[in-house]
Amino acid sequence: MSRILFRWNLLPLDEAAGEILPCCGSHAWARKMASGRPFEDVAVLLETSDRIFRGLTDTDWSEAFQSHPRIGSTVSAGKSSVRSLEWSVQEQRFATEAVDSRRQALAEGNLEYELKFQRIFIICATGKSVDEILENLRRRLTNDEMTELHEAAEQQRQITQIRLRKWLIE
């Protein structure tokens, strides 16, 4: 068992929920994760995270989405912790370092997405080039509302898995 997981298993419920919140951004997810302790190992933690995330409401998913900055930005749409923002900068490094024309294309795509879906565009950007992100954004703009909500939730689930692994080694 990791040292961080061992320590986290022993924290009071509210403190444990607060510590893990930056991994997802949904308070309901964080509370349910903290309530499910103790976790015997990382595999069980990750599996439980997926199960809990998939069982969240649309409102809970929306809260998680709002904890992220727009792709290409370093400011979140809603409340976000310093740790979450630091992770976002790492995850979308290629987007924030893009040349001006690509950053402009991302900004325009973000705006079009937000007008259509009334939320920010969420993508698991880790390891993706700006062109891959733009291609995903353009494709997802053709989705209907329910299809896109579930695709955004899947992207958030992937981000959560990556962040849990980062959290466990910090």
Q: 144: which 2 tokens?
A: 């209907």
**In the 8-state DSSP scheme, what is residue 141?**
T
Q: Are 72 and 107 in contact (CB under 8 A)?
A: yes
Q: What's the longest Cα–Cα distance across the chain?
A: 49
CA distance 155 to 14: 27
Q: Are 24 and 30 in contact (CB under 8 A)?
A: yes
What is the set of active-site residues?
Answer: 68
4 CB-contact burial (10 Å; exposed 0-12 / middle 13-18 / buried 19+): middle
